[in-house]
Structure 1
Amino acid sequence: MMHGLTRRSGLLAGAASVLSSAWIRTARADETGTLTVALSTNPVTCDPINSSSHDWEIISESIFENLVEFDIDGNLKPQLATALPEISADALVYTFELRDDVLFHDGMPMTSEDVKYSLEYIINPANKASRGPIFNRLSHVETDGPHRVHVHLKVPFAPWTSFLTKFMGVFPKGSREKYGNEYFRVSPKGVGTGPGMFEEWKPNDYISMRRNPHYWQKGLPHWDRVVVKIVPEDATRVAFLLAGQADIIGAPPAREFSRLKTRRGIQGGAVPTLGGWTVMFQNPSKPPFDDIEFRRCIQHAVDRKTIAEKIYYGLVEPSGIPAPASGWWYDKKADDMTAYNLDLAKQHLAKSRYPKGTEFDMDVSAEPYLLDAKDAAVFVQSELAKLNIKVNLRVSSSQIVQSHIMGGGYQSGFANFMSPGEATYFLMANFTANSFMANVSGNTVDPEVVAALKIAFAENDREKLKPVYAKLMVHMAETSYYTWVGYFAAANLWRARVKNFRPSRGLTINVYDASIS
């Protein structure tokens, strides 16, 4: 346990190292000790329990930490806990031993009371945390001394620990009432335990974090400051990288990625994700998508292979079901049921209420979110025109598109959405009651999905689960709620001076181990 740091001394130490806003605005990526990251979308919040963009979780995941985390290879490992949890025989109690050397950014030690407070805050519906429904199967938390907690569940729910990295954070007991939600959204100073301490948010420009001087992982981080810049345009983001204005960029343009990653002084990498949907969302509660035959028509009218190879240049792995081809729960029989086949598409269209065609709106983000959706949407538009189906593209900012889809006030939308990479997450979020993305599916509660997930929540043996998912994937192909195109890769480009950096299977840019030479 570390001693001698108080709340006051921690704040004074932080104040001494803060540089001026003017310095941050003009900082180049080659400033000593400063790591600069350029992302394509505007942040909405620094608060993990209300996060909406995986791009910007570089901020929340650097400031806040969790009992366990997914590392960049997609493996679950301890973080603020000393080990993965002990699970009771009935799978209703998870026991965690906590580290005894963790300090919040204000210098106060983290204890079991803080963990209890944080978990019970997010599961309390009165607090209206947007990610709260994900954890609504948790009941309560008991403390057992300063460094031990027992998390009680209402029903077995094996996936919940997999969601902590993205959608939770441990913060000081009473801090939400003391500071308010807006504080956590725009200026969470002193309330995290991670390697990055919030410094400044300049809207439409950047967010900066400085190094946590008493971080519990000794020797980390290797940087003094991280500046995360907002650069929506692909060409400008690449120019920032080549000109030394950025060390790492997210959402590199797929067309240029292979060429750029071998350019002198530049490195690049891509790794398949287990949770990255490239998908045409369709609202089953609104015409024409309330017609299953019309949905089946669309499913067979989309050439996934061409989109993956010609538009995304291999950065998307084709799949017509909610499972990546490289994922353990993938089922080829179900995927084959969604294959591109215009003759079959015409047959389903003839059986629908729209045998002569129709039209609908499709929301598309103006700027890239994870990957650029516009070219793929235009390709789908041209393919559906062959069936006398007119697609009206509605191009807006990513925030507007996301809110439109998430709110359910849409007909269709071509988008990239990222999950924690766990087999149940998107199905649970879209097709069960009172879930995070229930509005997206028009509040479709599918009994077969609910029944399959109940089995999955209570079972950890993948071999036993594979036939359950095989049946479920066939059902998803038959119902065709959405038109899945595939799963995208996590791809980044970075300058050669950046060491110990790799793209993460969880997609979010992870700079814990990154260093600058």
Structure 2
Amino acid sequence: MRQPSVIARRVAAASVSLVLASGAAACAGPKDNDAGSGGDGKPAKGGTLTVLNRDPQVDFDPARLYTSGGGNVPSLVFRTLTTRNREDGAEGAKVVPDLATDLGTPSKNATVWTYHLKKGLTYEDGSPITSGDIKYGIERSFAAELSGGAPYLRDWLIGGADYDGPYKDKEGLDSIETPDDSTIVFHLNKPEGEFPFLATQTQTTPVPKSKDKGTKYENHPLSSGPYKVVKNENDGERLRLERNPHWSAKTDPERKAYPDVIDVRSGLDSSVINQRLAASQGTDATAVTTDTNLGPAELAKLGGKDDQAANVGTGHFGYTNYLAFNPKVKPFDNPKVRQAISYAVDRSSVINAAGGSSLAEAATTYLPNQKSFGYTKYDHFPAGESGNPKKAEELLKEAGYKDGLTVTLVHSNAKDFETSPEIATALQDALKKAGITVKLKGLEDNDYKDTVHSAKKEPGLFLAHWGADWPSGGPFLAPIFDGRQIVQDGYNFNSGFLNDKSVNDEIDEINKLTDLKAAAKRWGALDKKIGEQALTVPLFHPVYKRAYGKDVKNIVISDWTGVLDISQVAVK
């Protein structure tokens, strides 16, 4: 599904599905008492943490993993140049140094980034980590046989688009320099002020060339983190991690690494996972999940048990569900028709279809309602909680449809809260009140993705969703609204085919900023400007609920990952 070109082409379903798979943000707050704590109330080392998941931890190779944001388990083994701040909520949406001493030193135009490594960094065998290992780790991620990772380095590095990896090209990438064993310099083909976010990607994990075994490296990758792989069965279905004796907390203040063992068991049914976590019997009392959310029915059951309701993390992840228009398809070429639909939407019924207010919050902005994205409040087409059919009818008359119109809404038949038949039906009922007859066209999930992401086959109206690879407006707005990222012969995400020079230029100007706070404000302003064109109708931002065992303590879940951070929990 990923095509060899610009970012938008390759963020694809990998990005979106990864975001949802990891999405269960919570702000439950750290818990330092009871089990997992020493006599002084502080978390203590020891015990085994069990991870109960649906999806196996496949391709456990830093070159092939998509993001560290969704890589809660990989982050225990693979350290990167920078990483996410391991704190609750908004504080956790910040980027901090990991292997590097700081967030990098940019050139004046942000096209050259220089990093220096901390002293005393070692692998699980005690050998030193060098800048050359990081360079090699990045280069091997370009090899076709190790594909699957994030596309940014290929797109951003000079010469990256034409590089095939070290197995074919022995010369390596000239755009990555290592003047000494503790310094690495990146030369980019355009300004990128958010390079510190990119440096969190697992592709910046060090890999010594002498230990590289190609596609077999995933069976026993050399650990730079607090845990090492001692067992990998059935391509990540059963993963056992034990302490890396050469890891030093002095060089790694982010990962606490309290448990002695991390036992990852995958291939389980979602309902079974939630039942086991709710019961919290035996080893399940010290278990968590990193990919399974609670549904409305399960929440209702937990809500009736005071002792279990407390063991649920609640919060937000940077994600938006929306209606997408294709202005090339009539009648959506008429802005007034798009505006009419925007007014007619009944967000309360949509939220009910998505599982209720405990699992979804109404959205009127495309950017998620979090500070790190540059969230700027606006509502260009105020419909209230239940829609404004009267205003919608007025706009339809102005557009030449005084007797109403009939449209087709494409959605996936998959039973999820993103593009489900239930949400489509809720929209159908709401638009009917404004004189808009909606015919529903449900497609099987793969067919749906291939259809809505094809520039040639994209329908006029469909349900869509987007999540960012890191908490910033850049990876949220650029793939969807940068006209230079319109893809005619592969996966296209600019569904509105917007190619506005002022928008493109502003994206370039924001990318030059290395002040992330200043950049966030500009992303928010750009979101507000784009929203006036009614190319999408934001519907809701999901709220995630996820259970954990009763003896899992020191809960930390950030707005970056939305996942209970297993590098912080104690279970003893």
Query: Given the two structures, how large is their TM-score scaled by the length of structure 1?
Result: 0.77
* Mean CA deviation greater in 99-108 or 281-290: 281-290
Structure 1 equivalent of residue 161 of structure 2: none
Summarize deviations over 1:185-211 as a string: whole Å, max 9, x none.
xx35224423344432437x9342312
Please state how far the C-alpha of 1:74 moved relative to its aligned partner.
1.2
AA in 2 matched with 1:302: V
Please state how far the C-alpha of 1:305 moved relative to its aligned partner.
4.5
Distance change in 2, residues 1:288/1:98 (3 Å): farther
Greater RCO, 1 or 2 (C-alpha within 8 Å, sep 6+): 2
Provide the C-alpha distance between the structure 2 equivalents of 1:215 and 1:277, rounded to a whole number of angstroms: 41
Provide the C-alpha distance between the structure 2 equivalents of 1:287 and 1:197, rounded to a whole number of angstroms: 56
1:375-454 superposed matches below 5 A: 375-386=422-433, 387-394=436-443, 396=445, 411=459, 412-415=462-465, 417-432=467-482, 433-434=484-485, 439-442=492-495, 444-454=498-508
1:137 and 2:171 are equivalent in the alignment:
no
Provide the C-alpha distance between the structure 2 equivalents of 1:175 and 1:482, rounded to a whole number of angstroms: 50
Distance change in 2, residues 1:471/1:372 (3 Å): closer
Provide the C-alpha distance between the structure 2 equivalents of 1:406 and 1:170, rounded to a whole number of angstroms: 31
Structure 1 equivalent of residue 259 of structure 2: 222
Please state how far the C-alpha of 1:171 moved relative to its aligned partner.
3.7
Paired residue secondary structure (1:193): coil
Structure 2 equivalent of residue 152 of structure 1: 187
Provide the C-alpha distance between the structure 1 equivalents of 2:248 and 2:400, rounded to a whole number of angstroms: 60
**Contact 2:225 2:244 (C-alpha < 8 Å) held by counterparts:** no
Please state how far the C-alpha of 1:480 moved relative to its aligned partner.
2.8
**Contact 1:277 1:488 (C-alpha < 8 Å) held by counterparts:** yes
Percent identity over the alignment is 18
Please state how far the C-alpha of 1:66 moved relative to its aligned partner.
1.2
1:177-256 superposed matches below 5 A: 178-180=212-214, 182-183=215-216, 187-198=218-229, 199-202=231-234, 206-214=237-245, 216-218=247-249, 220-233=257-270, 235-244=271-280, 246=284, 247-249=287-289, 250-254=292-296, 256=298
1:79 and 2:98 are equivalent in the alignment:
yes
AA in 1 matched with 2:130: T
Structure 1 equivalent of residue 535 of structure 2: 481
Distance change in 2, residues 1:269/1:366 (3 Å): same
Structure 2 equivalent of residue 302 of structure 1: 345
Which of 104, 111, 114 matches 2:130? 111
Provide the C-alpha distance between the structure 2 equivalents of 1:86 and 1:288, rounded to a whole number of angstroms: 50
RMSD after superposition: 4.0
* Mean CA deviation greater in 151-160 or 482-491: 482-491
Structure 1 equivalent of residue 169 of structure 2: none
Paired residue secondary structure (1:499): coil
Provide the C-alpha distance between the structure 2 equivalents of 1:446 and 1:475, rounded to a whole number of angstroms: 11
In structure 1, list runs of 5 or more residues that go unmatched.
Answer: 1-31
Please state how far the C-alpha of 1:120 moved relative to its aligned partner.
4.5
Whose strand proportion is higher, 1 or 2?
1
Paired residue secondary structure (1:238): helix
Provide the C-alpha distance between the structure 2 equivalents of 1:377 and 1:36, rounded to a whole number of angstroms: 38
AA in 1 matched with 2:366: P
AA in 1 matched with 2:84: F
Summarize deviations over 1:439-479 as a string: whole Å, max 9, x none.
12256544333112112111244675577445422332233
Provide the C-alpha distance between the structure 2 equivalents of 1:404 and 1:509, rounded to a whole number of angstroms: 34
Distance change in 2, residues 1:360/1:279 (3 Å): closer
Which of 402, 407, 410 matches 1:361? 410
* Aligned residues between the structures: 476
In structure 2, list runs of 5 or more residues that go unmatched.
Answer: 1-45, 87-91, 159-174, 250-255
AA in 2 matched with 1:179: K
Structure 2 equivalent of residue 172 of structure 1: 207
**Contact 1:133 1:435 (C-alpha < 8 Å) held by counterparts:** no
AA in 2 matched with 1:251: N
Query: Given the two structures, how large is their TM-score scaled by the length of structure 2?
Result: 0.70
Please state how far the C-alpha of 1:70 moved relative to its aligned partner.
1.4
AA in 2 matched with 1:227: V
Provide the C-alpha distance between the structure 1 equivalents of 2:219 and 2:325, rounded to a whole number of angstroms: 37
